[in-house]
């Protein structure tokens, strides 16, 4: 039996197993009896109804809804960083879903490379690129979400300040932001308000907020509130000045982005141009590029070029990454 056909059968079997695992995980997350029972109980509590037994809240993020997969994932290093990335990106998936997607895309790249008889180095690069796509998408979603939260934070602080001047308590002001502000900042403040309502101290709830939203502006807000609670003072006036400071910082940041736009575009072009040219040449004349992957000197040149490109990308990134 041909080696490629045997490998294709193995990859197909693993893909089918992962497909059924994904379907089971989706059903377990949305349609299982446990999920329906918890949803019914939460609806009863939120509507003010009475439920049998004592109502307690346990907040726990799981890496997988399958116990065996959960135990396996706990053995992996830095797996909780992936879970935090999912949380900060606003994703409802689990780490097991993310890793299954990574493995599935990597197998697609491997099978395509073997069927098309690409050189080994090209197959490795394609597999790595496809495997990193879900993680890069989460990073992009997290940065987009954090940027939106930072843009909404000054209005949220103004709302808290007005609520405090009107005589509301600080937890009530947080609940007002969760009820009246727009997403995604409304959801974060609602979680903080719920944590305080369930008995968590204000300092701990604000610390959790700063952990979920790793933004300098959010940390300034949390530190200002915690320090004011310890030393005293006019919190509404403090939040008003902090909101004005954040707005001015955003104005300056917008000016810097306009001035750095040309440099960022040049950096993207310089990074993408070699790969685009190499791909076009490979499609038009594969034999012309084959020497780079078959000859020992060609492989060394490719590795050296990639190392120099990484150094150049890092240098350009540091030049155009202007902090405000």
Number of domains comprising the chain: 3
* 41 part of a folded domain: yes
Domain co-membership, 302 together with 240 = no
Instruction: Specify the pLDDT at position 170.
Output: 84
CATH at 216? 1.20.81
Query: Alpha-carbon distance 147 to 161, whole Å?
Result: 22
Domain co-membership, 304 together with 279 = yes
Query: Alpha-carbon distance 161 to 234, whole Å?
Result: 10
Helix, strand or coil, per DSSP, at residue 120: helix
Give percent of the chain above pLDDT 70. Answer: 79
The domain in which residue 12 lies consists of 3-46+61-117
Cα–Cα distances in Å, from 90 out to 93, 100, 205? 9, 19, 19
DSSP state of 56: -
Model confidence at 63: pLDDT above 80? no
Domain co-membership, 232 together with 274 = no
* 91 part of a folded domain: yes
Domain co-membership, 258 together with 247 = no
Instruction: Specify the pLDDT at position 40.
Output: 53
Higher-confidence residue of 93 and 203: namely 203
Q: Which long-range contacts (CB under 8 A, 24 or more apart) does 107-115 make?
A: 107/11, 107/14, 107/15, 110/11, 111/8, 111/11, 114/4, 114/7, 114/8, 115/4, 115/8
- For every residue of 68-79, DSSP letters joined together read HHHHHHHTSTTH
Model confidence at 64: pLDDT above 70? no
Higher-confidence residue of 43 and 143: namely 143
Out of 236, 251, 266, pick the residue that ends a domain: 251
pTM: 0.63
* 8 part of a folded domain: yes
Higher-confidence residue of 110 and 118: namely 110
Domain co-membership, 8 together with 91 = yes
Model confidence at 39: pLDDT above 50? yes
* 94 part of a folded domain: yes
Mean pLDDT for 159-179 is 86
Question: Residue 50 — very low, low, confident or very high, per pLDDT cuts 50/70/90?
Answer: very low
* 277 part of a folded domain: yes
Instruction: Specify the pLDDT at position 2.
Output: 56
* 37 part of a folded domain: yes
Higher-confidence residue of 162 and 262: namely 162
Domain co-membership, 271 together with 287 = yes
Question: Residue 60 — very low, low, confident or very high, per pLDDT cuts 50/70/90?
Answer: low
* 185 part of a folded domain: yes
* 56 part of a folded domain: no
Domain co-membership, 202 together with 301 = no
């Amino acid at each position: 039996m041909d080696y490629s056909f045997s490998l294709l059968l193995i990859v197909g079997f693993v893909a089918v197993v992962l497909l059924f695992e994904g379907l089971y995980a989706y059903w377990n997350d949305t349609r299982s009896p446990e999920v329906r029972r918890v949803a019914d109980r939460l609806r009863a509590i939120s509507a003010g109804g009475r439920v049998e037994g004592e109502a307690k809240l346990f907040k726990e993020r799981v890496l997988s809804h399958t116990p065996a997969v959960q135990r396996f994932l706990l053995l992996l290093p830095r797996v909780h960083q992936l879970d935090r990335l999912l949380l900060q990106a606003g994703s409802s998936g689990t780490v097991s879903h993310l890793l299954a997607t990574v493995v599935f895309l990597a197998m697609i790249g491997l099978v395509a490379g073997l069927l098309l008889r690409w050189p080994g180095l090209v197959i490795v690069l394609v597999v790595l690129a496809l495997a990193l796509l879900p993680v890069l998408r989460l990073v992009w979603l997290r940065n987009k979400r954090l940027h939106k939260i930072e843009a909404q934070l000054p209005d949220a602080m103004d709302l808290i300040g007005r609520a405090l001047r009107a005589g509301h308590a600080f937890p009530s002001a947080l609940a007002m932001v969760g009820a009246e502000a727009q997403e995604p900042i409304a959801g974060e403040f609602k979680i903080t308000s719920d944590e305080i309502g369930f008995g968590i101290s204000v300092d701990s709830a604000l610390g959790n907020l700063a952990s979920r939203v790793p933004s300098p502006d959010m940390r300034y807000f949390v530190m200002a509130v915690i320090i004011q609670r310890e030393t005293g003072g006019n919190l509404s006036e403090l939040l008003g000045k902090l909101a004005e400071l954040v707005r001015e910082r955003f104005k300056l940041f917008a000016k810097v982005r306009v001035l750095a736009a040309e440099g960022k575009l040049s950096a993207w072009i310089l990074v993408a141009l070699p790969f685009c040219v190499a791909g076009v040449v490979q499609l038009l004349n594969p034999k012309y590029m084959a020497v780079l992957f078959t000859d020992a000197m060609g492989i060394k040149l490719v590795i050296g070029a990639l190392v120099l490109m990484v150094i150049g990308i890092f240098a350009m990134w540091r030049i155009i990454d202007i902090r405000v």
